[in-house]
């Protein structure tokens, strides 16, 4: 088989195996509840312009992630796995894009395939492959934008076409998660100013051509303009929240911030990022000039995050992981580690998949069990009582959108141990638990569980 065939087989296998984990509520990212619950309401209300999260209009993030989740619900019906499926498909498209990007920089199929295997083994990438959140669309479209900018630099005779595609991709990236969408273009400007290649003035002038800027604005800003005129108060409230997290207020924290994202990359790209760092320090390989725009993108992104953000999360680094993979792969490909890197990557990816498949069995999946029992053994509607919004979003998706959210008005209720005492002589039909915390105390392993109940209530006190 050719290297390209092996790569496609791996991506297909990856999609199938990760797809088997999409219905699991654990491991689970808390912010996903925003997109699950709001997208279910979009389907039920036919309003796909304003995300509404348990009665609150939400303007914190643009629409792409909501629309992808809604697309899954519209196509396959409301379920936890169906809302996540478009993000898994997008992650596989990102792997294929990375393959093309690697070939653009180094026309070697083995090198390009190595990039695919490495990225598909990265912990951060796998985690956000299987959740309905903004991070995967943002990473895909920023990488696509960077790819077209680099293509324009290598094929100047087609500059107009590739800049056009790069700006379209940047506009879609902005519509995924806001201002980070401009980072590829900003990085290319930094590259041109620092290195001043032949005809760099032409590249710079065309980079800020009004036509491209207008196209970007038409893709990036209409939703915000709509929200400004029709939901001004809600938009300003969200803007105030976002602003508090966007601008670093403590200058003394900046040195620590500067090492945070490189540290995240080393931690969540085990074992390849630490190995590549060691090889780079020891062997001092020469990185070709074709990779300099990629390095500028990584550096610019980390620098802006470090200087501007007051709250830092490891997942923010995902946006540079494809670019980082290009650098790591080049270093490993030109080292004795080349032969074993692909095998180790497959093993690491396989280990992650096994963990995602087995973890729910170990921790428990109470909402799946309770909702299945309700559907198979009762007649009447189901409501939530005393659950957190995250828990209600799980239950909504797993009940195919049938869960009622008005507390006591359901014929049957999902509740937890803390709120069971609110009911006088509840009829407990079934209970189920999940592992919420594990810790070691005095040499003893302590497991803490959270218990949920399906009840037919008499009434709440």
Band (461; pLDDT cuts 50, 70, 90): very low
281 and 329 in a common domain: yes
339 and 419 in a common domain: no
Token duo for residue 103: 């070939």
Taking alpha carbons only, the member of 18, 19, 30 closest to residue 394 is 30
Mean pLDDT of 167-192: 97
The phi, psi pair for 8, rounded to 5°, reads -65, -40
Q: How many other CB atoms are there within 10 angstroms of residue 289's CB atom?
A: 9
Quickly tell me which residue has 């796998």 as its tokens.
126
Higher pLDDT residue, 220 or 426? 220
Taking alpha carbons only, the member of 412, 416, 413 closest to residue 436 is 416
**For the segment 279-307, what is each residue's pLDDT rounded down to a tens digit?**
999 989 999 999 999 999 999 999 999 88
0.85 surpassed by pTM: yes
348 and 231 in a common domain: yes
pLDDT at 408 over 60: no
Band (250; pLDDT cuts 50, 70, 90): low
**For the segment 367-385, what is each residue's pLDDT rounded down to a tens digit?**
999 999 999 999 899 999 9
248 and 378 in a common domain: no
Q: Return the percentage of the chain with pLDDT > 90, whole number.
A: 76
Question: pLDDT at position 27, please?
Answer: 58
Question: pLDDT at position 204, please?
Answer: 94
Distance in angstroms (rounded) separating the CA atoms of residues 142 and 176 = 10
Q: Which of 306, 328, 359 is the last residue of a domain?
A: 359
Residues 6 or more apart from 293 whose CB is under 8 A from it?
A: 146, 149, 150, 153, 187, 188, 191
Question: pLDDT at position 244, please?
Answer: 63
Q: Is residue 461 part of a domain?
A: no
Tally of structural domains, the chain: 2
Q: Which of 359, 384, 402 is the last residue of a domain?
A: 359
CB 27 within 8 A of CB 133: no
What Å distances lie between residue 447 and 26, 86, 364, 444, CA to CA?
16, 35, 13, 10
Torsion, Cα 433 72 317 145, to 10 degrees, reads 180
Distance in angstroms (rounded) separating the CA atoms of residues 30 and 199 = 48
Which residue range is the domain that position 416 belongs to? 364-456
DSSP SS3 for 108: coil
Question: pLDDT at position 120, please?
Answer: 98
Q: Which of 305, 336, 359 is the last residue of a domain?
A: 359
Q: Which of 36-40, 69-73, 86-90, 457-461 has the lowest mean pLDDT?
A: 457-461
220 and 234 in a common domain: yes
């Amino acid at each position: 088989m050719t290297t390209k065939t092996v790569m496609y087989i791996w991506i297909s296998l990856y999609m199938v195996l990760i797809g088997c984990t999409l219905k699991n509520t654990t491991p689970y990212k808390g912010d996903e509840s925003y997109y699950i619950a709001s997208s279910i309401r979009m389907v039920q209300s036919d309003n796909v312009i304003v995300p509404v999260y348990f009665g609150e209009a939400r303007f914190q993030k643009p629409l792409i992630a909501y629309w992808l989740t809604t697309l899954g619900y519209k196509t396959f019906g409301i379920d936890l796995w169906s809302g996540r499926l478009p993000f898994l498909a997008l992650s596989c498209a990102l792997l294929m894009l990375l393959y093309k990007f690697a070939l653009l920089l180094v026309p070697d199929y083995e090198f390009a395939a190595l990039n695919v295997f490495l990225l598909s083994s990265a912990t951060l990438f796998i985690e956000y492959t299987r959740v309905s959140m903004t991070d995967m669309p943002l990473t895909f479209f920023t990488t696509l934008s960077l790819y077209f900018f680099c293509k324009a630099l290598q094929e100047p005779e087609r500059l107009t076409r590739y800049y056009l595609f790069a700006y379209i991709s940047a506009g879609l990236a902005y519509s995924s998660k806001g201002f980070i969408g401009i980072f590829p273009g900003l990085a290319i400007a930094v590259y041109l100013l620092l290195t001043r290649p032949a005809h760099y003035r032409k590249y710079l002038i065309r980079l800020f051509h009004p036509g491209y800027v207008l196209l970007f604005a038409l893709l990036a800003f209409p939703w915000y303009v709509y929200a400004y005129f029709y939901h001004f108060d809600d938009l300003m409230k969200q803007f105030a929240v976002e602003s508090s997290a966007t601008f670093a207020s403590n200058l003394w924290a900046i040195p620590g911030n500067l090492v945070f994202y490189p540290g995240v990359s080393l931690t969540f790209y085990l074992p390849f990022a630490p190995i590549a760092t060691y090889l780079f320090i020891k062997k001092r390989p020469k990185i070709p000039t074709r990779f300099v725009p990629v390095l500028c993108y990584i550096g610019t992104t980390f620098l802006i995050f470090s200087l501007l953000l007051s709250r830092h999360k490891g997942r923010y680094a995902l946006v540079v992981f494809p670019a980082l993979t290009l650098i790591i792969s080049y270093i490993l490909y030109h080292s004795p580690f080349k032969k074993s890197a692909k095998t180790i990557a497959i093993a690491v990816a396989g280990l992650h998949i096994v963990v995602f498949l087995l973890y729910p069995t170990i921790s428990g999946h109470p909402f799946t069990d309770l909702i299945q029992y309700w559907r198979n053994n009762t007649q009447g509607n189901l409501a939530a009582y005393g659950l957190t919004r995250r828990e209600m979003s799980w239950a909504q998706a797993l009940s195919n959108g049938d869960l009622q959210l008005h507390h006591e008005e359901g014929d049957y209720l999902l509740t937890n141990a803390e709120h069971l005492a609110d009911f006088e002589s509840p009829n407990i039909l079934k209970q189920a638990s999940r592992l919420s915390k594990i810790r070691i105390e005095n040499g003893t392993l302590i497991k803490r569980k959270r218990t949920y109940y399906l009840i037919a209530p008499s009434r709440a006190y």
